[in-house]
Structure 1
Amino acid sequence: MDPRTGKRRAQVAAEATAQDVDQAVTAAHAARAALADRTVRAAFLRTAADLLDAAQDDLVATADAETALGAARLTGELARTRYQLRAFADLVDEGAYLGVVIDHPDSAATPPVPDLRRYKIPLGVVAVYAASNFPFAFSVPGGDTASALAAGCPVVVKAHPDHPDTSERVAAVLRAAAGRHGLPEAVVGLVHGFDAGVDLVRHPLVAAAGFTGSVRGGRALFDAAAARPVPIPFHGELGSLNPVVVTEAAAAERGEQIGTGLAGSMTLGAGQFCVKPGLVLAPEGAGGDRLLKSLTEGLGATDAGVLLDHRMRDNFVAGVVERAQLPDVSAPVAPGAADEHAVTAGFLTVPAARLAAEGAHDLLLEECFGPVTVVARYADEAEISAVLARLPGNLTATVHLSAEEAAGDPATDGRGTRLLAELTPLAGRVLVDGWPTGVAVAPAQQHGGPYPATTSTSTSVGGTAIERWLRPVAYQNTPEALLPPELHDANPLGLPRRCDGRLEH
């Protein structure tokens, strides 16, 4: 369905039956050996990036028609997706992700050490659940798919219903890339439909799953993965409030700048980013007032936007109304319906003391998907701590400090250090004087956090995302003729490794 007009588009795929899912998974399972060669895998990933580049105009136009995210945003997202594929190809070539460790026999140790050689092997077929809000970077060709293929795991992707045509076209590109390197098309499977998603996570040949979506849907699949006769790892990204703390000194120093930055961050992509700042703790008083005035002006200059589908639009409008009706909640800029398709951005305010105690206001501590944020005005640091103590896990947590607080000036009594210590247990990525929207694809990235942000401690962005699809195995007293070449003494593949306690390059 076209989110801008509500009109139905042409059907591009049928919902997969249980037999369809079985065929896709069985074929992917049979294709595992074809991905064993690291050189071929790396070349495949680079070719996939090249072919996505060549198909950019068609893919961006198709995705825009299905999601209304806009050509500029989607062009950037596709560029990010190509970068991810190439980055994982480089990681495969380097080989450090294999974690090779060799310990030669040592009879003098207590207890004696036998010959031990350890590295990591792929788990098997990975089920990938595409996200609604990222039709490229977190969908068919996204980070879960790229990292799984890099690990040597075939994938079967459950397409998101908001962009089935985009999913089909991208899957065709990936399969064409596989064919150029003699790999079977089945290394990238694709299925559609709600029931197919459930059948996929329950299939006995699926060895792990990656999910990006809602708390409700992700938790149901997580429970299904755990309830299998043989449970499997389920790496799910479910939901995040992404709290922001603005100190009184920071608001006094640059309240207008912070308000403008907040307006830009919370409305980016019509507020449909998983790292949108959904709760802001701002001080009472003049500095906080200037922040809200700047936020109001920034939102006033923001055009109405179209959400990914009408179901999300209706949920957003209803969620905002329900929150705005709570006692002591006001809407200086009321978010809601602009017309039958678009929505307007806005924010709600509430005294922080209301959030510090359990009750009806707990709803404000839940993510509301769309262009809205909650600003909780606090009277003192004790109220900041009381609210933070009630928050669930998050992908990100942010603090805005004054220049003196950021520098650790003794006159600030360690306020910056204290706030970082309070925020760190809440999130996988902690920011200072920035905004969480925009997740860099970098080796040090951590895109994941305590539940319900994610169901595991891993990241879905950056090079270490590959670790989700691997498991270690150690060979003891095994003749070298029987060992994989990665574990030979001569290191014929030139892999980084740790040998007898010493790191070798």
Structure 2
Amino acid sequence: MTGQVETAVFPVLIGGEWRPAQVKGTLQATNPATGEALEGLYPVSGQEDVLAAIAAASGVTPGTPEHIAAFLQRYAELIEGSGAELSALAALETGLPEKGRLLETELPRTTRQLRLAADTALSRSWTRPTIDTEAGLRSVLQPLGKPVVVFGPNNFPFAFNAVSGGDFAAALAVGNPVIAKAHPGHLGTTRALARLAFQAVQESGLHPASLQLLYHLPPDLGFLLVGDARVGAVAFTGSRGGGLALKRAADAAGVPIYLELGSVNPVLLLPGAVAERPAELAKELFNANTLGAGQFCTNPGLVIAVEGPGQAAFVQALTGAYQSAGSGVLLTEGAAPHIGAGLKTLTGAGATLVAGGQADTPGFRFQPSLLTADAKTFLAHPDALQTEVFGPVCLLVTVQEDELDRVLAPLEASLTASIYSSATGSDDALYGRAEPVLRQLCGRLINDRMPTGVAVSSAQMHGGPYPAGGHPGFTSVGIPAALTRFAALRGYDHVRDGRLPAELQDANPTGCWRLVDGRWTQEALA
């Protein structure tokens, strides 16, 4: 991975081989800490590559759970064996810290996801076999029989990467081939991961065309890719504008598309909580909002604080934290102008900028920025003041207790919503008013914690109502639940036992858990 610099355009992975791309242009990775372009040319593929990738992936038959698990386990091993080189490369391309973040946190999270997916593939738990003996009906979740297209975001070069992240692991664990579209923010990291993945494909006996990699596409070819009827599903994590444009193309072709588009993730601070620990809450909020230079889809961008004792101390501590903070490195060159445009929208709608507000150097940076507004201002322009700014930007809205219900009413759907309340129970009545509203607006409701942490857990919900997500019933993090996005529910009506999938046969040769006449069991049918 760190050998001689290659000057030619890197090949794409299609049909089980690294082959020259149909080059419609080239692009380079960039070091965001310095703004300098990095060595290596990556192709912007043409239509021939897109159609070839779809055709190759469409010819893949699902592997056995054993082959799938062997691939995922071997891939995790290979990633760990190259962890230092991968982390160094990702740090160079993203500006994210190698120590603490990439090597010690995100990379282990990624390999854990892969191993969880392997275990789930072997257990077949994701298939949810259901049997009604009286009606003679049986159903089970099965692979789509078509490829899944995965678009990775810029902020997690390992854990959400198109060739190693949760969407990739879930689609492969079900038995679907993947067509991966790399993010321009970490091209070299994606290439290095894909080389390891292809090695694992070859060593595990999985179909050689189980993974296709395209680095970049013109917008019209992105629409062509997701709008091809041979595609079984699409997973996209990224900006709302890009995701909704892809959704229109996929919807027109009847291709399911699962979106994770980010949100402002409202945090409600009730007066008892602020009175108990104003400085602690200010520090916690500042750290969460500026973590990773604010480039998290769960970044707390909107805070609603109910007036009460301790409010002045909280605001003073929060303002001081932003005023004394240094600028963090942004992921891409376009990030700072985007943040600037978002701040202009917020201030144009009446918010007051009290700290930050400027792009910075070297490289791509922006000052942590705090804005404030009162309830009257927020209610006059609720849409504009809920503009998501993907960066270290927080809007603090202060409200009186009798204004809270009106301020909560126009809130948009978000991935998360957090409520901080007093440990003594003094906020319980206010909590009871606010919780039913926020519960309907978010995928994950949080108490007394900031939303930025997304644990890999079978109980995790990382999604939410539209437009934060594409569908409120699905999560992009959490195995086995994440797998169900890329599966088809198939029913069998009085089909003879020997003709049934193994999970539905009377003897239950797989030993998996099944819902038989309303009862979960691993037992064979008498």
| TM-score for both structures, normalised by structure 1 | 0.92
- Note the residue ranges of structure 2 that are not aligned, 5 or more in a row: 1-29
Alignment partner, residue 92 of structure 2: 65
One-letter amino acid matched to 2:190: S
Inter-partner Cα distance in structure 2 for 1:402 and 1:285: 12
Whether the 8 Å CA contact 1:12–1:164 is kept in 2: the answer is no
Inter-partner Cα distance in structure 1 for 2:348 and 2:456: 40
User: Structure 1, residues 67-112: CA drift from partner, whole Å, max 9, x if none?
Assistant: 11121322211111111111111112222211111222x3xxxxxx
Alignment partner, residue 19 of structure 1: 48
Alignment partner, residue 476 of structure 2: 460
Shift of 1:317: 2.3
Inter-partner Cα distance in structure 1 for 2:117 and 2:269: 37
Aligned-partner SS, 1:179: helix
Alignment partner, residue 21 of structure 2: none
Equivalent in 430, 434, 438 of residue 419 of structure 1 = 434
Equivalent in 401, 415, 420 of residue 421 of structure 2 = 401
Inter-partner Cα distance in structure 2 for 1:159 and 1:63: 13
Whether the 8 Å CA contact 1:281–1:352 is kept in 2: the answer is no
Inter-partner Cα distance in structure 2 for 1:388 and 1:186: 49
Identity level (%): 38
**Alignment partner of 1:99 is 2:121:** no
Alignment partner, residue 289 of structure 1: 312
Moved over 4 A (4+): none
Equivalent in 171, 187, 200 of residue 177 of structure 1 = 200
Equivalent in 308, 318, 339 of residue 361 of structure 2 = 339
Whether the 8 Å CA contact 2:93–2:186 is kept in 1: the answer is yes
**Alignment partner of 1:319 is 2:346:** no
- Note the residue ranges of structure 1 that are not aligned, 5 or more in a row: 107-112, 406-410
Alignment partner, residue 389 of structure 2: 368
Stretch moving more, 61-70 or 438-447: 61-70
Whether the 8 Å CA contact 2:375–2:407 is kept in 1: the answer is yes
Aligned-partner SS, 1:276: coil
One-letter amino acid matched to 2:51: D
Determine which structure has the larger helix proportion and give its number.
1
Instruction: Decide whether aligned partners of structure 1 residues 446 and 413 sit closer, same or farther in structure 2, where only a CA change above 3 A counts.
Output: closer
Alignment partner, residue 253 of structure 1: 276
User: Structure 1, residues 229-256: CA drift from partner, whole Å, max 9, x if none?
Assistant: xx01100111301000001111111111
User: Structure 1, residues 28-83: CA drift from partner, whole Å, max 9, x if none?
Assistant: 222233x2x11111121111111111111111111111111121322211111111
Instruction: Decide whether aligned partners of structure 1 residues 133 and 412 sit closer, same or farther in structure 2, where only a CA change above 3 A counts.
Output: closer
**Alignment partner of 1:391 is 2:406:** no
One-letter amino acid matched to 2:355: V
Shift of 1:16: 1.4
Shift of 1:301: 5.1
Whether the 8 Å CA contact 1:249–1:401 is kept in 2: the answer is yes
| TM-score for both structures, normalised by structure 2 | 0.89
Alignment partner, residue 178 of structure 2: 155
Alignment partner, residue 25 of structure 2: none
Whether the 8 Å CA contact 1:264–1:298 is kept in 2: the answer is no
User: Structure 1, residues 434-470: CA drift from partner, whole Å, max 9, x if none?
Assistant: 0101100101100001111101120000010001001
One-letter amino acid matched to 1:65: L
One-letter amino acid matched to 2:373: V
Alignment partner, residue 378 of structure 1: 399
One-letter amino acid matched to 2:518: G
Whether the 8 Å CA contact 1:237–1:455 is kept in 2: the answer is yes
Stretch moving more, 193-202 or 495-504: 193-202
- CA-based RMSD of the aligned residues comes to 1.6
Stretch moving more, 423-432 or 91-100: 91-100
One-letter amino acid matched to 2:48: Q
Aligned-partner SS, 2:398: strand
Whether the 8 Å CA contact 1:445–1:459 is kept in 2: the answer is yes
Equivalent in 181, 184, 190 of residue 213 of structure 2 = 190
Whether the 8 Å CA contact 1:334–1:348 is kept in 2: the answer is no
**Alignment partner of 1:439 is 2:454:** yes
